[in-house]
Structure 1
Amino acid sequence: MSRVVSIRPSRPDEGERAIEIWRRAVDATHDFLTSEDRAAIDEEVCAFLPHAPLLFAVDAEDRPLGFMLIESGNMEALFVHADYRGTGVGAALVRHGLALHPMMRTDVNEQNGQAMGFYARMGFHPTGRSPLDGQGRPYPLIHLIHRG
């Protein structure tokens, strides 16, 4: 059962919570990252995430459980706090994003089998593959689209 009560824009004072969600999510799902790359990505995320226009999925106490970032119909980020994985938080965020952008696109790390399965269940279809991630690291991306 989903714990999500609503989805709302992030507020300026919620940057630390966004980073906490990101770290817990990545630690639970991105075991393919080298420790050096994980540290470098963490530094990049800490500089960017607190200022990004995120959409938070929040519980009844308005506590953020997960977030997404959509730019021009492309889901740039979707992360759910590890404690709330499998409770419908990610699905609620994706459904919200699809209501705004029915043909939403996203990329997923090829090595993240759980995410690949999640996106397939949510109706996304592969459109291509890149051998490197967006920062040129050796983590192949699968490009996905939802066909509405």
Structure 2
Amino acid sequence: MHNEIVAYREENHNQLVDIWDRAVRETHTFLTEEDIQFYHHIVRNGALREVEIWMELDETQDPIGFIGLDGVKIEMLFVDPKRHGQGTGSRLIQHAEKIKGKCLKVDVNEQNERAYVFYKHYGFVQTGRSELDGSGRVFPLLHMEKNK
């Protein structure tokens, strides 16, 4: 029984927003409820439609994680917290490498130590830092790249 990676489908939109919400609450402990609501609005109302989304589906064809790509940049990677540590994130990164090549980039919240360690494990190295996130909020980002 193996999971399948498929392109974004509109009928899965709300499930992906739900995965995003639960994953952020689990991993982004530095965000306040107000911050989460701010980003939730962005994710629910368009962010998922502005990038190339690939989802991993479980045996019942429900999404358990997704990756959002803009060219070679990973804009988002979220996995259902109940599925953390089971390889979904790894398979999504491998899928991105297969379709985009090995030289991927990603920005990670500096306060999200787990994400930083995850990407470092896959050979990403820090190439820079920004004081503000993409929405202009004071959540520093670490810029990482994979060159092999």
Normalising TM by the smaller chain, what interval? over 0.9
In the other structure, the counterpart of 2:135 is 135
2:82 and 2:143 map into 1 onto residues whose CA distance is: 27
- Kindly state the Cα deviation for residue 32 of structure 1 after the two structures are TM-superposed: 0.3
TM superposition shift of 1:82: 0.7
Q: Deviations over 1:40-97 (max 9, x none)?
A: 1111111014535410011122211000011111111100011101111101101111
Contact 2:2 2:59 in 1 (8 A): yes
Gaps of 5+ in 2: none
- Distance in 2 between the 1:12 and 1:32 partners? 30
Ranges in structure 1 where 5+ consecutive residues have no aligned partner = none
Identity, % of aligned positions: 35
Counterpart AA for 1:85 = H
Q: Which residue of 2 aligns with 1:94?
A: 93
Q: Residues 120 and 4 (structure 1 numbering): CA distance in 2 closer, same or farther, change over 3 Å? A: farther
Counterpart residue identity of residue 146, structure 2:
H
Equivalent residues, number:
146
Q: Could you tell me which amino acid in structure 2 is paired with residue 16 of structure 1?
A: N
- CA change 1:4–1:115 in 2 (3 A) is farther
Distance between the aligned counterparts of 2:2 and 2:27, measured in 1? 21
Q: Is the 8 A contact 1:4 1:88 kept in 2?
A: no
CA distance 1:87–1:4, shift in 2 (3 Å)? farther
The code of the aligned residue for 2:144 comes to: L
Partner residue, 2:64? 65
1:39 equivalenced with 2:37 (yes/no): yes
For 1:106 and 1:4, locate their aligned partners in 2 and report how far apart those are by CA, in whole Å.
27
RMSD value, Cα: 1.4
- The answer to whether residue 49 in structure 2 is matched with residue 51 in structure 1 is yes
**Correspondence for 1:119:** 119
- Spell out, residue by residue over 1:83-142, the C-alpha distance to the aligned partner (whole angstroms, 9 max, x if none): 101111101101111122210111000000000100011111110000110001110000
Deviations 1:5-43 (A, max 9, x none): 121102111111110110011010001012221111111
